[in-house]
Structure 1
Amino acid sequence: MQNIGAANADDAFYRYKMPKLQAKIEGRGNGIKTNVVNNVEIAKALERPPEYVLKYYGCELGAQTNFDKASGTSIVNGAHDTRKLSELLEVFIKKYVCCYSCNNPETQIKIKKENIYLKCKACGFVSDVDPRHKLNTFILKNPPENKLKKEEQKLKKAEEERVKDAEALGEKEKKEKKKKDKEKKEKKDKKKKKEGKEGEEGEDKASEEEDENSGDEDDDGVVWMTDTSAEAAKRRAQEQLTAATAAMVTVGNLEAEQEAARRKAEREAKKAAEEEARKKAEEEKKAAEEEAARAVAAAQAAALASADPVVRLRALLADKDAPTVVKELKGMTVEGGVAGKMRVLYEAALAGSDTKMDVTLKARKNIFAQFAQDPQSQLAQLIAMEHMFAVAAPERLKEAPYLLKQLYETDLVEEDVILAWAQKSDAGKLLGVPADGGKAVRKAVAQVVEWLQSQEDEEDEEDEDDE
């Protein structure tokens, strides 16, 4: 057995229980189906017709259902696992069983003007069921019987008997009063005849004495009644409910109120705990961000103060604008002159990032363009590129042809300068590039150089044809 409703799963003292759903897949191929073995027992625990629960599965799964009233067999066409059916059952309980106010499952389905409501027997709240669900149509066509429990039937029967007895008592009293009035009238008429016709004064006196005497007689044997109507009789019957019945109603209301108060306290405690956890997480996140920012700032400060020009320039690239970077680079004093400065730029801007070098070069074109104003500066860039792939980052040699092509396409290095550098195998000696390294770089970019050479040959042929 398990608690009714997923929200009450962990409550060890919850008194509303239902069997755990059991499903069995039967058949195969086009005839495969799922048998909800204990659907009737579950529906009985929820006080809902088993057809409602089964039909809800069919509506949600888009499958045909079949319920045999004689045997209680509940079939859903298709193969559906127990976990999925259990999830759908929880949704059914939330929508069609539990009160929307106190979450108590003691509700009755009521139908009024094509609308479906849940009347809670614990708190009295009336919940409006969403009219858009397909199951509503089935419920409207097959309304629930809403049978009363044995205790409720006994109470209702006792109340009807009390009302009936009160009505009978009222009728009896009414008849007795009518009979007494008739006897008084007959007695009065008889006395008048005996006395004969006397003066008006004597007759009035006799009438007054008669009224007084009759009043005394009424006081001796008549129970005074203020109202003998059927409504009054029903009201008196209602007031005659036993103390045990009243106590039962009071205890039920108190239990419902205590349950609602307990749930409210649990929700508030859970909400407070979640809010406290959220604040703590935000504080920890903020502290971590501040610590990371301090670490980055310290690293940048250390980089800017570093004696290594590559480290210093890399910090500037991460924090400063292009004019500041260009100014710093031009003011540096490094070995190798312009080629040495380009070596610092290429290693700081390109080798220090995981991004593809040709993409980074295109993004920082405005910086590289400041050092590509003449063939000497362009050649210095090619020598710096050779040093980077041969010495600083040989593991990224496969990116060399893409970088060289990007230098050409962005007009940072002219075609003639590239061809001249390719033919000068010892150009990298200016920056201490080993011969094997320079040879490997030229081999890597050979296809780009051949492509540029073919373009130049075509241009020469066109010029000869024009002549």
Structure 2
Amino acid sequence: MQNIGAANADDAFYRYKMPKLQAKIEGRGNGIKTNVVNNVEIAKALERPPEYVLKYYGCELGAQTNFDKASGTSIVNGAHDMRKLSELLEAFIKRYVCCYSCNNPETQIKIKKENIYLKCKACGFVSDVDPRHKLNTFILKNPPENKLKKEEQKLKRAEEERVKDAEALGEKEKRERKKKDKDKKDKKDKKKKDGNHGEDKEAGDKYSEVEEEDSGDEDDGVVWMTDTSAEAASRRAQEQLTAATAAMVTLGNIEAEQEAAIRRTERESRKTAEEEAHKKAEDAKRAPEEAVAQASAEAQETVLANGDPVVRLRALLVDKDASTIVNEIRTMPGVEGGMAGKMRLLYEASVTSCDARIDQVLRAQKNLFAQFAQDAQGQLAQLIALEYVLAVAAPGRIKEAPYALKTLYELDLVEEDVILAWAQRADAGKLLAIPIEGGKAVRKAVKPVVDWLRQQDDDDDEGCD
């Protein structure tokens, strides 16, 4: 066994392995051919159909290939040594297996509109495969089987049902809690109405308890007495005076220490302020223009840090990389609406800051949006954020809604099941306080795309039957 990918060949702890290629030359003359003995095992390790690997050899070598599904025999016409085939296998892995971003081989082949993509399960990056290679035509005619599609759909539906059950349970607990609070309030009001009668009853109960305690003490046979002599009284007074004096001394020491600490802090603050003022004055003498520019930049940075988060994100989108923006969004504190609220800030900053169409913005910043599309929660949050932009932030651009939704689907930013579930929930936008009428208008605008997805889903179900 060897590591997948030449770049990882020396990594002893690399967990993605594949068998070492084995091939032998058979026949002679015009009938000479090369049998790739373990092509099926290699393809299985790469999670690719063995026909793809074999066909890639044929395309690169300009030779005919033959694959027998029953026996797994993989033949390439002509005599080809293992060194050449190993180089071609490495090229196939680099082009059709490994993620173009993180170089992880755990990817899936996706086909959208005659284009081939690699979707990485590890980092979520979507890689565009060069459409000029001859193997692309073979892949488009023989797409990979998506055996896990139905299972994944069942898991998603089960997850949605679990979420609904949890919400229903939460509502039930909330109602029970309200009922308990109401009962407590009623009991309290009833006690107030009883007035003195209730107080007398309570006093009688307490008196009964005291009598019971007294009777219990008598049963013990112990008589408690207090020494009332003058010497004892003087000793007790001295003890109380000593304790009070000690407490006053301790309190005085604490207050003195606090005052000293405050004065020390004030002196240090004044000293630091004087040093900073002196430094700024020296800097201003040496380079006035540079000092002014630096102060302006610091002021602008302060405004961006403390002001509107949408404005800050717009500034980051101009000159920061995707990882910085993703970290900024994920660590935003106190955003209303949770993930949907954070996606609302990202979409509003990206879409409303330029005149380009929403679908063009999504394509240009695909890798950024893909970082938040790795699970159903992030995908639904993006749909709600898009709904907010079209219904509240920029309602005049609602005609772009179908193009934006179709682009989200084509770029694998939102799965089909999530779109259909969102379209059926007219109140999904309540997380961001989207008006019901605005949400209905957005769903009406994207209805052609939703109907098209439903038709595709029905066709898939019929094909499976």
Q: TM-score interval w.r.t. the shorter chain?
A: 0.3 to 0.5
Higher Cα Rg, which structure: 1
Higher RCO (Cα < 8 Å, 6 or more apart): 2
TM-score by length of 1: 0.35
